[in-house]
Structure formats: structure tokens, C-alpha cells
């Protein structure tokens, strides 16, 4: 029992349970479903456990010692990075190895490390979208298709008097979105039957009596990452004690995922202007640039992180410049003979807009639970 003199708000704070890492990870994987990740790049919990309590989320491009120190300074911290720390299996944990030393540091300070799946670069609102928007590209198209999110169809049955409420709840949860349209459904009338057994608490009818109710069957398309939320919304809004619904796998292509973004600039500008824009919005100059400052540019392609073959795709698409977080030597050689400028801004700068947006999303989702969100460059 609390002491009589203890303030009520302090009691409430003490009783309030913090979310665990699994809840944060579920949200992260909702934003970018890992089932669409490239298999050869590791992701997920690399150190620690998903059952650990979370009081602080530290977000960083990589697991630098600066990021590790920021996490260690906070109790119950979850470290979220854009790049994995562990990329190959350990045969020994030798502290002379800097990667092993970081793993040991994380374990010593009880820090859970989660590496974002590489789908976060391609996902809507992820690294590529955020970088493109930061550089002033309003309308963009992907450079390289990567995957389509699986689609499902859900059919549920509801009495006509409650149909619109349940339908609206399903639509708000993400069902029925086709292109630029929402609330898409097909509805048919029919008769539902049920016989409540002992222990049931029927909304309509009584135990031991067969009921026939005029109902609507409502069918809606649902992307994979929204499915569980839609089911929960339907059950929550439905008047029945037991809700009947069917889920079908469909072959319709779902949300389109692609790497890189290509967009037109409002006006043709000199390369020097683009470089100044990069310095202004990202706070860091380009590391490498393949052409002279007076080269004119009318379109931009961007791709956060380290990329393979995307420069070639940007050049083939006619991009005036390709901005990336990690150009290879082969890219630099290709750029010498291309009309597409190659601009390397460095890994951390390229993922920064996406990580800062992620911090905002995490604060809105978990800030009310008392979780601190920190971005570390």
C-alpha cells in the first residue's frame, strides 16, 4: 500500500509499466515489414532480448561508441541502428576485435541492439523518401523495384444496424485501400444463423434458441502489415460476442517497394547549387563529386546508404545527379564517362533524415509511456 502522504501522480507513475523491446520492434517492423528484406543483410535483435524493458530509445546510423555511450547513460535503453553491427558469425569473442568489444560493452550495460531491416530504405516514408523530401523532391518514382507486400482479403459478417460502424472501423485501420481510394468494399445481404450454447451471452436472441439475423457480408482488401490491426478493429467495433470473419490470400500485388528515388527539379540549376543545398539541409558537405560545379542539372536521383548498381540505373533513367551514402570505386569510374553526376554524401548523412523522422514517430507512439527518444549522429 502506498503511504498516505505520497502524491497521487507519483503513485501512478510508479505503477505505470514501460513497454518492452518487443513492442517497439513490432512498431518498427510495421513501418518496414522485414519479410521484404534482402536475405543476405542481417537485421533484428543482434544483442540482448526483445523482452527487456525499455525506458529510452537511442537511434543512430551505426553502433558507434558515441551511440553506445548514449545508451549506457540511460537505464533500460534500446539502441536502434540503420546498419547491423554483426554481419558475420562469431567463432570467438575476442575483445581485441572492435566489433566483439562493442558486443561485450552492450552486454555489460544490458543494452538491447536492434538493426533495422533494409526494407526501411525502400519502405514508404523510409530512408529514400526522407532523403528525397529533404532535398526538395516532391514527386518521385523508385529506381529499382524490390518487392510487393502480400495482400489479403477479409470478409466479415455484421447485422445491418451495426454494419457502417464496423465497416468504418476496418477502413480506418487500413482495410479497403486501392491506389488513391480508401473505404473500398463489396457488401452483400444475407442471413446469418447461430445457436447460443450454455455460457454464451448473445447480443441478439437467447441461449438454446436458433437465431436467424439479416446481416451484411463486407469484403475488403488488406495489406499484410495492416491485417492484425484490421482484425482487432473489427472485433472491437462488432456487437457480437463471437465475430465471424474469413481471411483469404490473394495474388493482387500489394504496396510497391523500391530502392532509390528519382524526381524532377522545378528549375535547371548548376551543380554548385545542389551541393549548397546538401550542405544546408544535411549540415555536411559532399564527400566526393564527379563533375565540375557549373554542370547543369534538371533532375535528381537519391538513394540512402550504401548501394550497388543504383548509379547505373539512375544514369539510364537520365538523372542529372545521383546522391548516395556510399559510392563504390566502380560507380566513380562509371561516372567519369556519364552525364549523370555522382555525389557521395556519406552513410550517416544519407540516413539522417529518415532516422530523424523515425525518432518523431517513436516519440508520438511511445512518448506517452514515458519513453525518452534520442538521436545520436
User: What DSSP string describes 296-355?
Assistant: EEEEEEEE-S--SSHHHHHHHTT-SEEEES---HHHHHHHHT-SSEEEE--HHHHHHHHH
127-146+258-345 has which fold?
3.40.1390
> Regarding beta strands 77-81 and 112-115, do their DSSP bridges make them parallel or antiparallel, or are they unpaired?
parallel
Report phi then psi at 15, rounded to 5: -80, -20
Locate 348 and state its grid cell: 550517416
Residue range(s) in the chain whose domain bears CATH number 3.40.1390.30: 8-117+353-375, 127-146+258-345
CATH architecture of 8-117+353-375: 3-Layer(aba) Sandwich (3.40)
Task: Answer yes or no: pTM beyond 0.75.
Answer: yes
Q: How far is CA 285 from the centre of its chain?
A: 28
pLDDT at 114: 96
> Regarding beta strands 372-375 and 245-250, do their DSSP bridges make them parallel or antiparallel, or are they unpaired?
unpaired
**Blockwise average pLDDT, block size 10, the chain, 377 residues:** 38 52 92 77 90 94 95 94 90 88 94 92 91 87 86 96 95 91 96 91 89 95 91 95 94 83 88 88 80 83 87 91 88 84 92 95 92 94
pLDDT at 3: 38
pLDDT at 212: 93
150-250 has which fold?
Alpha-Beta Plaits (3.30.70)
* 257 burial type by CB count under 10 A (0-12 exposed, 13-18 middle, 19+ buried): buried
Residue range(s) in the chain whose domain bears CATH number 3.30.70.120: 150-250
Amino acid at each position: 500500500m502506498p503511504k498516505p502522504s505520497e502524491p497521487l501522480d507519483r503513485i501512478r507513475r510508479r505503477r505505470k509499466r514501460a513497454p518492452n523491446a518487443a513492442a517497439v520492434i513490432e512498431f518498427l517492423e510495421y513501418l518496414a515489414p522485414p519479410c521484404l528484406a534482402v536475405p543476405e543483410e542481417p537485421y533484428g535483435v543482434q544483442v540482448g532480448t526483445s523482452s527487456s524493458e525499455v525506458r529510452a530509445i537511442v537511434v543512430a546510423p551505426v553502433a558507434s561508441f558515441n551511440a553506445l555511450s548514449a545508451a549506457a547513460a540511460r537505464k533500460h535503453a534500446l539502441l536502434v541502428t540503420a546498419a547491423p553491427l554483426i554481419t558475420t558469425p562469431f567463432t570467438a569473442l575476442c575483445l581485441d576485435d572492435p566489433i566483439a568489444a562493442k558486443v561485450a560493452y552492450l552486454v555489460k550495460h544490458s543494452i538491447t541492439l536492434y538493426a533495422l531491416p533494409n526494407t526501411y530504405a525502400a519502405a514508404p516514408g523510409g530512408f529514400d523518401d526522407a532523403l528525397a523530401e529533404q532535398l526538395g523532391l516532391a514527386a518521385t518514382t523508385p529506381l529499382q523495384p524490390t518487392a510487393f507486400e502480400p495482400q489479403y482479403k477479409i470478409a466479415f459478417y455484421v447485422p445491418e444496424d451495426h454494419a457502417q460502424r464496423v465497416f468504418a472501423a476496418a477502413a480506418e485501420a487500413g482495410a479497403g485501400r486501392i491506389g488513391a481510394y480508401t473505404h473500398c468494399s463489396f457488401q452483400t445481404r444475407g442471413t446469418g444463423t447461430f445457436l447460443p450454447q450454455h455460457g454464451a451471452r448473445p447480443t441478439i436472441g437467447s441461449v438454446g434458441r436458433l437465431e436467424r439475423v439479416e446481416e451484411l457480408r463486407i469484403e475488403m482488401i488488406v495489406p499484410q502489415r495492416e491485417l492484425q490491426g484490421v482484425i482487432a478493429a473489427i472485433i472491437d467495433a462488432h456487437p457480437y460476442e463471437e465475430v465471424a470473419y474469413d481471411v483469404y490470400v490473394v495474388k493482387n500485388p500489394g504496396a510497391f517497394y523500391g530502392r532509390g528515388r528519382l524526381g524532377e527539379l522545378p528549375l535547371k540549376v548548376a551543380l554548385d547549387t545542389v551541393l549548397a543545398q546538401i550542405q544546408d539541409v544535411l549540415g555536411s558537405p559532399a564527400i566526393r563529386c564527379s563533375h565540375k560545379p557549373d554542370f547543369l542539372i534538371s533532375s535528381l536521383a537519391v538513394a540512402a546508404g550504401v548501394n550497388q548498381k543504383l548509379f547505373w540505373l539512375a544514369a539510364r533513367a537520365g538523372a542529372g545527379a545521383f546522391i548516395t551514402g556510399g559510392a563504390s570505386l566502380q560507380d566513380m569510374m562509371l561516372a567519369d564517362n556519364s552525364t549523370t553526376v555522382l555525389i557521395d554524401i556519406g552513410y550517416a548523412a544519407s540516413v539522417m533524415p529518415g532516422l530523424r523522422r523515425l525518432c518523431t514517430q517513436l516519440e508520438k507512439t511511445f512518448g506517452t509511456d514515458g519513453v525518452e527518444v534520442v538521436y545520436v549522429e
